[in-house]
Structure 1
């Protein structure tokens, strides 16, 4: 049994387990009732006075907990991240693993400082995650101070850790990753990180207490590869302390009050690959220093007051694979400076001032996979300039000027897997061109011009996983019958249409469907619930609900 509970020593710890925007504790679809305060239900239901049967899973968990001491089971990894009602009472079992324990994730739990007192007995532990544990303070940190084998430590969103308490981190000499995102009390505490010479990744995102003074001790962390200080008070002066961090590959400074003057310091970091300067204070002045960042692969300049003049200094960044110019003052002529960036895979031009004429400069970007032109002034006439982008996979054309003619101009892009035509003026006739896009996995046409006849040209796109036809108020139950053959669908939206409860029978073959939106139709919440209960067991999100 011990072998089944262990992992290989070289296996990487998954710190996040994917993005968690909302704790699973508050997810209405979470299925973790067996982790409640008691592992065994009361024999009598208090409300009805009826005997209740525990689930098989509950019985198994109860039996294991009762007899676990009879087995030679040395747990190495315990992941209870964001499960409900995990508190101090759980720690006795967790810490009883002693030197066998290598990692523990208790994110979102209700454990307190007191529960961490005996964690020193787990001297071999390598990874600890206490994200969203708002009852841990400096005292809890002090309990961790002797765990010299720790390589990963995370305390996201903690209001109780202070600069003084961070002195406990100074002895964690093998720490590689430290995450203090949204910890507002740590200003002045980074001085205690000076001796952590092995540190490779430091996350201080959304710690608006961080200032230029906090950057000075980081200058000694010469092995640092990733630094995130978004939404802080760091200015150009603070960036100057980073000049000697020659291994730094990723720097996130979104929403920091830095200007183009910071590029003087950043240009000394020859290995910088990922740079986020979105929503900073960049203008055209001083942006010539971008030309020195030859190694850059990803550059985000979105929501800055930069114009075509800045693009002149990007044309030599031949290693760029992703460029974000969202909401910048970019016009058609400026795009000529991107024509030589042949490694570009992702280009964000949303809400810029480019029009159809500028697209001709992009036709040679043969490696482009994703292009966003939403809220621009592109018209049908410009889309023919994209015909050379045969490897394009994702295209967002959220613009009202696109009609059937424009869709026809895109038919050479046979590699498209994502096509967003939100607000475009596509009619039934225009959907004939969709037959060319046999690789489409995601399709959105929400301009209101489709009828059931147009859906006949969509029904054979067998690779579709997401289909959004909302706002087409002429669609009826006949469209549901046509869609029934798209058995790979995971998400379907026909809101603001004429479909009825009777038409729901056609959706029964869509066994992979997880999301269904039929708002402002003649379908009620109870209709969808019955469909879920009897025919679509995987449905987890639906509207109306």
Structure 2
């Protein structure tokens, strides 16, 4: 919406029955112009992705009590002071905040959003300390903490997120010590540990997550020995073992996972022998 101006937003004031509004990548949506949003009391879905001039304008959204979905991905200037105005939006179910300048303080303002099911904090400068506030979001089913720079300390708060189905922890500094706190998340269906500092013994804590359908282990220190802990994951549909230490021996360990449909082996340690073991056919063509 590159040609919508701050002045033009004013025409929206008469659309009090509007339930869905999207202004992706628009510089016309400014903090001042957002004053018109206060009249849109029936909004259910609001998409402001890449609207870079809305910092300071969320104060006009305090009365949008019917709002269920809010997308502010890549609104790079949104800070903690903006997030406090979301604390009364108790019907909010989905909140997208990727690449915003939100810290642990900003996350603390979300504790009353008991209906929140999807929370995306990718690339936000939060720490594992924010998990204490997040652990109170009892309805949470999807949590994206990709590229947040999280360490092990504070990860014990994961244990309270019993309804979680999707967890993205890729590109963080967590180790096997963090995975200890995931073993009780028995409803988990998708887990992303891409480029985390985990090894074989960490997978021991995942063996009880029998509903897992997708597991991302790329660029970790996982080797063939650790894959034995995954033998009970009968629902596993997709596994990424690229750039790990897995060898041909590891292929035999996952060959019993009959639900597998996608296996990423971008790995120079796998040979014809490993592929044959993976499909349960122990022949190898001679050159």
Q: TM-score, normalised by structure 1?
A: 0.52
Q: What's the counterpart of residue 261 of structure 1? A: 129
Aligned with 1:220: secondary structure? coil
Answering whether residue 192 of structure 2 is matched by residue 324 of structure 1, we say: yes
Answering whether residue 210 of structure 2 is matched by residue 342 of structure 1, we say: yes
In our comparison, the structure showing a higher alpha carbon Rg is 1
Aligned-residue offset at 1:165: 0.3
Q: What's the counterpart of residue 150 of structure 2? A: 282
Q: What's the counterpart of residue 492 of structure 1? A: none
Unaligned runs of 5+ in 2: none
Q: What's the counterpart of residue 110 of structure 2? A: 242
- The CA distance in 1 between the partners of 2:177 and 2:79, in whole Å, is 31
> Deviations 1:523-542 (Å, cap 9, x if unpaired)?
xxxxxxxxxxxxxxxxxxxx
The answer on whether the counterparts of 2:276 and 2:284 sit within 8 Å (CA) in structure 1 is no
Answering whether residue 61 of structure 2 is matched by residue 193 of structure 1, we say: yes
Q: What's the counterpart of residue 254 of structure 2? A: 386
Answering whether residue 212 of structure 2 is matched by residue 356 of structure 1, we say: no
- The CA distance in 2 between the partners of 1:179 and 1:387, in whole Å, is 44
Answering whether residue 93 of structure 2 is matched by residue 225 of structure 1, we say: yes
Q: What's the counterpart of residue 17 of structure 2? A: 149
2:49 corresponds, among 172, 181, 188, to 181
Aligned-residue offset at 1:183: 0.6
1:293 corresponds, among 148, 157, 161, to 161
Aligned-residue offset at 1:428: 7.7
Q: TM-score, normalised by structure 2?
A: 0.97
Q: What's the counterpart of residue 333 of structure 1? A: 201
Aligned with 1:145: secondary structure? helix
Q: Which has the higher contact order (CA 8 A, sep 6+)?
A: 2
Aligned with 2:14: secondary structure? coil
Aligned-residue offset at 1:224: 0.2
- The CA distance in 2 between the partners of 1:382 and 1:220, in whole Å, is 50
Answering whether residue 139 of structure 2 is matched by residue 271 of structure 1, we say: yes
Aligned with 1:371: secondary structure? strand
- The CA distance in 2 between the partners of 1:295 and 1:344, in whole Å, is 13
The answer on whether the counterparts of 1:390 and 1:412 sit within 8 Å (CA) in structure 2 is no
2:172 corresponds, among 304, 317, 323, to 304
Aligned with 1:305: secondary structure? coil
2:29 corresponds, among 161, 165, 170, to 161
1:214 corresponds, among 70, 82, 86, to 82
Q: What's the counterpart of residue 7 of structure 2? A: 139
Structure 1 residue ranges (4+ consecutive) displaced by more than 4 angstroms after TM superposition: none
Q: What's the counterpart of residue 315 of structure 1? A: 183
The answer on whether the counterparts of 1:145 and 1:171 sit within 8 Å (CA) in structure 2 is yes
Aligned-residue offset at 1:264: 0.9
- The CA distance in 1 between the partners of 2:94 and 2:7, in whole Å, is 28
2:276 corresponds, among 401, 408, 422, to 408
Answering whether residue 244 of structure 2 is matched by residue 376 of structure 1, we say: yes
> Deviations 1:273-302 (Å, cap 9, x if unpaired)?
000000002101111111111110000000
Aligned with 1:401: secondary structure? coil
- The CA distance in 2 between the partners of 1:353 and 1:302, in whole Å, is 14
Aligned-residue offset at 1:411: 1.4
Mapping of residues 88-99 of structure 1, within 5 Å: none
Unaligned runs of 5+ in 1: 1-132, 414-426, 431-448, 450-545
